[in-house]
Structure 1
Amino acid sequence: MRASSTPARRAAAAIHFRNEIEKAEAAGASRDDMLLHLTLSDVSQIKRDRSLALTDINFAGETMRFLGVKVEQGGVTESVLIRPT
């Protein structure tokens, strides 16, 4: 038998990036120094996620923050959490 060529399905964007943010913070990174560069699809998914608390997403001016981490929307093919170096 041949293995399926479809990629493994990732957890919901909010769950995936909550875990990534918590790992980075446990490693000593500050949420103020992190950046979430998300696909437009992941941004939309997070905005519509009914399991999130209202305090998990914040909009100030033109800046969106998820769990206190600044979000940059679009311009990438895969969402990524950028940690300080």
Structure 2
Amino acid sequence: MKPSLTPGRRVSPALRFRTQIELATADGATPDDLTLRLTLGDASLLKRDPNLALADLSFIGGTMRFLGVKIEQGGVAESELVRL
């Protein structure tokens, strides 16, 4: 049997970063201490995630936030959660 040529499914940005944000807050960080630096692709996936609750993503004051954490879109090769 030939191996599949289709790439494996990645964990959604929402699931990946929800876990990281929860771990950081359990370690004492607040959402204001954190920034999500997302690739444009991950930012797009996050905005279109059908499993994401409306309350989890906000666009108040011209700033996109996920679970209260500010999002910076683009300018990175790989998405990451950074602690300020």
Could you list the runs of 5+ residues in structure 2 that have no partner in the other structure?
1-6
The corresponding residue for 1:14 is 14
Deviation sequence 1:2-59 (CA, Å, 0-9, x none)? xxxxx97541110000000001001111111100000000000000001011011000
TM-score, length of structure 2 as denominator length: 0.86
SS of 1:70's equivalent? Answer: strand
Using the alignment, how far apart are the partners of 1:8 and 1:50 within structure 2? 20
Q: Which amino acid aligns with 1:47?
A: K
Using the alignment, how far apart are the partners of 1:65 and 1:51 within structure 2? 16
Using the alignment, how far apart are the partners of 1:26 and 1:8 within structure 2? 30
Q: Percent identity?
A: 59
Q: Number of aligned pairs?
A: 78
Q: Which amino acid aligns with 1:20?
A: Q
TM-score, length of structure 1 as denominator length: 0.85
Structure 1 runs of 4+ with >4 Å offset: none
The corresponding residue for 1:62 is 62
The corresponding residue for 2:3 is none
Using the alignment, how far apart are the partners of 2:48 and 2:16 within structure 1? 15
Using the alignment, how far apart are the partners of 1:65 and 1:75 within structure 2? 17
Using the alignment, how far apart are the partners of 1:10 and 1:18 within structure 2? 15
